[in-house]
Amino acid sequence: MTYTQIGFINSTHALKGKMLVKHNLKSSKEFKKLSFIFIEVRNKSYIPYFVENMADATEDTVMVQLEDVNTLEEARLLVGKNIYTEQETFNKIKPANKYNFDFTGFKLFDQ
């Protein structure tokens, strides 16, 4: 399965495990179409989380409540982690930049 990064967990919000997610999609409306996301908890280890609740914070940030993340301590463990979706799902939503390339695993040379 191929995954594409769509953002990262920026910070916690309140005490019930809510988190602010900074995304790189065209709008928060696109992000809110997702019913689940994958979080890279370790290198190349993508764990699925179902979204319980989501609300707009800014155009490129949403407040997210994930299933099984119910405390501030649980949410803090995820801060700074990258968020992914399956490539097939990504192709159906709108990235902020139509040239959104994932160069993971490649070597780039600038000459």
Q: Which residues of 17-30 are buried (b: 16+ CB within 10 A; e: fewer)?
A: bbbbbbbbbbebeb
Q: Quickly state the pLDDT bin for 96 (edges 50, 70, 90).
A: low
Residue 5 has pLDDT above 80, yes or no: yes
79-91 pLDDT, tens digit each: 999 999 998 888 8
Angle CA 98–100–105, to nearest 5: 155
Distances (CA, A) of 81 to 8, 40, 97, 108, 111: 6, 6, 21, 24, 32
**Tens of pLDDT along 13-48?**
988 999 999 998 888 888 888 999 999 999 989 999
